[in-house]
Structure 1
Amino acid sequence: RWYIGWRSLIPQAIINHTIIKKILTEGLMMIDRKISGTLNIQQTSASQSSENVIYNAHTLRNLIFSVS
């Protein structure tokens, strides 16, 4: 419900973007793995995770502004 709730706030034109779809799918898969107990946080280093979050945040922001 939480995922569907905030995802519904994103305009469809943005959701249809290839990179946005990929990032949303990766996030949903991560949530599913965490819920099922198969996500091992130790698999990636903290700096690697931080870099990915920062990169994805910048990518999303740039795409949102370019689409809207």
Structure 2
Amino acid sequence: MATDPTKPYHHGQLDRAGIDGAVEEVETVGVAAVSMRRIARRAGVSHAGLPTSSATRQGYSLP
């Protein structure tokens, strides 16, 4: 299977995309309903693409 050179494997701006996705998620559903999976979807990566460790969750200020 050939890869498309116009679509790089790595996101490149994952931190920025994650923050932007988190802000959009909070604005849309509210803090109580925030989900790392939905943040990842908004960022355009798989849910495994964003680190889901407790340190990262604290960085995103999630419970």
Give the alignment's TM-score, normalised by structure 2. Answer: 0.31
Relative CO higher for 1 or 2, CA cutoff 8 Å, sep ≥ 6?
1
Give the alignment's TM-score, normalised by structure 1. Answer: 0.29
